[in-house]
Amino acid sequence: MEKQVLAVSRVMVAWQPIGISMGVYDMCLRYLKERKQFGAPLAAFQLNQQKLSLMLGDIQAMTLVGWRLCKLYDKGKMTPGHASLGKSWITLRARETVALGRELLGGNGILADFHVAKAFCDMEPIYTYEGTYDINSLVTGREITGFASFKAPEMSKHSRL
């Protein structure tokens, strides 16, 4: 029962970072078109466009993984490993996405006024709650391999570390 509750709540939590990432992307795109540096909008610089492309690719991939998780759930085929892989992978990508967004805003990416700093901070608990990235990876790993590796290897009697 506990396993099922966690699996379902992980599906719900997996969507939170997707929404946050979409909001950050929208904010960044608007900001880059408005702010000018070196005589041009920030959106005109190649490196900034590359970061936007990375963010958009992440968002589309995260959405597809989230969508697939929901489909598996609807069909009653979702396993704890599916839910953990979805939650851990999506939060990893979303963490990258909001970090890119924070970077794109330069110093303003640190200020609360532009929402991106808040989104950056909001991503940290999501990465950790409903099972940390590590623990969810181990749940997936157990399902893939059949070996549980949650416990530390036995310490040798003589180990002093």
CB < 8 Å & 24+ apart, contacts of 118-127: 119/20, 119/23, 119/24, 120/24, 122/20, 123/17, 123/20, 123/91, 123/94, 123/95, 123/98, 124/95, 126/13, 126/16, 126/17, 126/20, 126/91, 126/94, 127/91, 127/92, 127/95
Stretch of residues binding ligand FAD (CB under 6 A), selected from 62-70, 101-109, 127-135, 140-148: 127-135
Q: Does 3 bind ligand FAD (CB under 6 A)?
A: no
Interface with ligand FAD, residue 134, by CB under 6 A: yes
Residue 148 within binding range of ligand FAD, rule CB under 6 A: no
Least separation in angstroms between residue 133's CB and ligand FAD is 7
Please, what is the minimum distance in Å from the beta carbon of residue 75 to ligand FAD? 28
Task: Establish if 132 lies at the interface with ligand FAD (CB under 6 A).
Answer: yes
Which of 27, 52, 99, 135 is in the footprint of ligand FAD by CB under 6 A? 135
State which of residues 50, 125, 144, 148 lies at the interface with ligand FAD (CB under 6 A).
Answer: 125
Collapsing DSSP to helix, strand or coil, 37 comes out as strand
Query: Nearest-CA neighbor of 10 among 79, 96, 94?
Result: 79
Question: Which residues here bind ligand FAD, judged by CB under 6 A?
Answer: 125, 128-129, 131-132, 134-135, 138, 150
